[in-house]
């Protein structure tokens, strides 16, 4: 057991917490979305919570941790879904939430500390110069910009701008390494992709520079359709309408909207109505309405015409993984999947999955721009019965040309491309030679011979011990 009394003394002057209840609270994220991760990760906790207020305090903390050989797992707001921010080997949970200053705003870009909550960042850039982040996760009101870069992928606005993986959607990252003498690196261009979506396994982000877009008073809209596929066809057409400025398009199959969107329920006509959740620029409302009419959609709700929005959540909090959250609140047996429907025949792929899986897997799509083309990715709900059936549903998707990004796995590889990211791995060898940053999340580091084609799930040895304790 590391000498935490000594470590605390060495961290003198930096905010430190070792109350086990409080440390445990800050060791958890939204892993419980998955019944499988819930079982695997429930016992996970760190030993010490350290909350730096500056890059200099991050450097000091990493130096002490390196010297004592203890793991460090960064944490933003802990809204990740796959146990990304959970310290599988205990050690220090590095709470970045106090590094939350917007440092500078320019035409088209902003520089901020990583713990800045995205809604707060947007408030400042809007007030300063009528700009906002190009896109944000549906956890806009709670999640941090550093956590988004290290653990997220895309979100509200991705219909226009694509995702974090697209060159230019992150401009610069400042990163501290985990070495005897931590180095500070400034990464741009391809270089910063080493740290983008690496779960904090190969460096701690201490500053981000993000591009901005013009801000609008987006109008929240709900459009109803009598069949899910009709909602999908409308969404596809809307997404491809060059002249209509929208920020979000999410078709969601009945009965999810009626059963789960409690504050909007009174606007939805009946349980069998599928709904498309949309954010439209104010000046685009009239032409948008014309498209809705053409598809015989029913304009159920528009925020610019309700008397008061009091008690009604913003539309984006009905989308992305908020759809999942709301469905799970209404019916605890739900879980979900993350699906790609590669274009150009993405709509046909969705139709096929809907025909095969029906109400066992109610559809939820997010329209996005992917390598320049309109496409949809899916976060379909799944009425969970057994692990075996979940695996079967995954196989059915894959057999029909719809790859799954498995949200029931905590490693980078199994949740992603199911192969080693050699560039991220090589970078980790330089920046974290002892393997102390968020251990257990990069299989390639722990077990370079792991066979991704074997069909086996990777179990981090440290976690195996915890589960059998």
Ligand X SMILES: Cc1cc2nc3c(=O)[nH]c(=O)nc-3n(C[C@H](O)[C@H](O)[C@H](O)COP(=O)(O)OP(=O)(O)OC[C@H]3O[C@@H](n4cnc5c(N)ncnc54)[C@H](O)[C@@H]3O)c2cc1C
Helix, strand or coil, per DSSP, at residue 395: helix
Tokens describing residue 433: 């030679």
Smallest gap from Cβ 175 to ligand X, in A, equals 8
**292 vs 444, beta carbon nearer ligand X:** 444
**122 vs 224, beta carbon nearer ligand X:** 122
Interhelix angle 346-357/387-399, nearest 10 degrees:
140
**273 vs 375, beta carbon nearer ligand X:** 375
Kindly report the backbone phi and psi dihedral angles of residue 376, in degrees, each rounded to the nearest multiple of 5, phi listed first.
Answer: -125, 145
Q: Which residues of 324-362 are buried (b: 16+ CB within 10 A; e: fewer)?
A: bbbbbeeeeebbbbbbbbebeebbebbbbbbeebeeebb
**Number of Cβ within a 10 Å radius of residue 30:** 19
Smallest gap from Cβ 465 to ligand X, in A, equals 21
Q: What is the DSSP letter of 130?
A: S
**74 vs 222, beta carbon nearer ligand X:** 74
Smallest gap from Cβ 37 to ligand X, in A, equals 13
Smallest gap from Cβ 293 to ligand X, in A, equals 30
**50 vs 292, beta carbon nearer ligand X:** 50
**73 vs 273, beta carbon nearer ligand X:** 73
Distance CA 220, CA 38 (A): 34
**151 vs 380, beta carbon nearer ligand X:** 151
**204 vs 292, beta carbon nearer ligand X:** 204
Nearest residue relative to ligand X (C-beta): 147
Smallest gap from Cβ 242 to ligand X, in A, equals 24
Cis ω for the linkage preceding 344 (within 30 of 0): yes
Smallest gap from Cβ 431 to ligand X, in A, equals 11
Nearest of 442, 432, 451 to residue 198 by alpha carbon: 442
Smallest gap from Cβ 367 to ligand X, in A, equals 13
Tokens describing residue 204: 């701690």
Smallest gap from Cβ 184 to ligand X, in A, equals 13
Smallest gap from Cβ 269 to ligand X, in A, equals 26
Binding region for ligand X (CB under 6 A): 29-30, 73-81, 84-85, 96, 114, 137-139, 143-144, 146-148, 150-155, 199-200, 204-205, 320-322, 325, 438
In angstroms, the Cα distances linking 272 to 224, 225, 257, 258, 355 are: 10, 9, 9, 8, 16
Distance CA 409, CA 80 (A): 12
- Long-range pairs for 371-374 at CB < 8 Å and ≥24 separation? 371/162, 373/343, 373/344, 374/159, 374/236, 374/239, 374/240, 374/343
**59 vs 204, beta carbon nearer ligand X:** 204
Helix, strand or coil, per DSSP, at residue 228: helix
Helix, strand or coil, per DSSP, at residue 392: helix
């Amino acid at each position: 057991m590391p000498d935490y009394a000594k470590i605390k003394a060495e961290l003198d002057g930096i905010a430190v917490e070792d109350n086990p209840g409080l440390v445990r609270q800050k060791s958890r994220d939204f892993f419980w979305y998955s019944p499988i991760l819930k079982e695997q990760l429930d016992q996970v906790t760190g030993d010490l919570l350290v909350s730096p207020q500056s890059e200099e305090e991050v450097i000091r903390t990493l130096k002490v941790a390196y010297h004592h050989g203890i793991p460090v797992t960064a944490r933003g707001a802990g809204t990740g879904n796959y146990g990304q921010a959970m310290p599988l080997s205990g050690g220090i949970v590095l709470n970045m939430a106090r590094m939350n200053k917007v440092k500078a705003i320019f035409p088209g870009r902003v520089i901020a500390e990583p713990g800045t909550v995205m809604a707060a960042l947007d408030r400042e850039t809007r007030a300063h110069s009528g700009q906002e982040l190009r896109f944000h996760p549906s956890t806009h009101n709670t999640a941090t910009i550093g956590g988004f870069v290290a653990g997220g992928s895309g979100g509200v606005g991705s219909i226009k701008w694509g995702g974090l993986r697209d060159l230019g959607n992150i401009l610069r990252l400042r990163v501290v390494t985990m070495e005897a003498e931590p180095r500070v690196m400034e990464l741009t261009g391809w270089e910063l992709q080493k740290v983008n979506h690496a779960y904090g396994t190969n460096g701690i982000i201490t500053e981000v520079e993000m591009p901005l877009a013009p801000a609008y008073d987006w109008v929240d809209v709900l459009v109803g359709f009598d069949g899910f596929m009709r909602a999908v066809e409308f969404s596809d057409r809307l997404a491809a309408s060059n002249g209509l400025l929208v920020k979000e398009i999410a078709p969601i199959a009945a009965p999810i909207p009626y059963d789960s969107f409690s504050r909007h329920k009174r606007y939805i006509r009946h349980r069998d109505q599928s709904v498309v959740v949309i954010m439209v620029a104010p000046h685009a409302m009239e032409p948008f309405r014309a498209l809705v009419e053409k598809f015989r959609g029913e304009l159920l709700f528009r925020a610019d015409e309700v008397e008061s929005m009091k008690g009604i959540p913003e539309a984006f909090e009905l989308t992305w993984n908020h759809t999942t959250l709301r469905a799970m609140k209404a019916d605890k047996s739900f879980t979900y999947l993350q699906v790609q429907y590669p274009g150009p025949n993405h709509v046909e792929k969705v139709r096929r999955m809907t025909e095969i899986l029906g109400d066992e897997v109610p559809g939820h799509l997010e329209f996005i721009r992917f390598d320049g083309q309109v496409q949809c990715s899916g976060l379909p709900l799944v009425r969970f019965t057994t692990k075996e059936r979940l695996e079967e549903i995954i196989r059915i998707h894959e057999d029909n040309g719809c790859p799954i990004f498995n949200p029931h796995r905590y490693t980078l590889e199994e949740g992603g491309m199911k192969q080693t990211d050699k560039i991220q791995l090589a970078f980790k060898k330089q920046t974290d030679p002892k393997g102390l940053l968020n251990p257990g999340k990069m299989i390639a580091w722990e077990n370079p011979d792991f066979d991704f084609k074997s069909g086996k799930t990777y179990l981090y040895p440290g976690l195996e011990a915890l589960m059998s304790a």
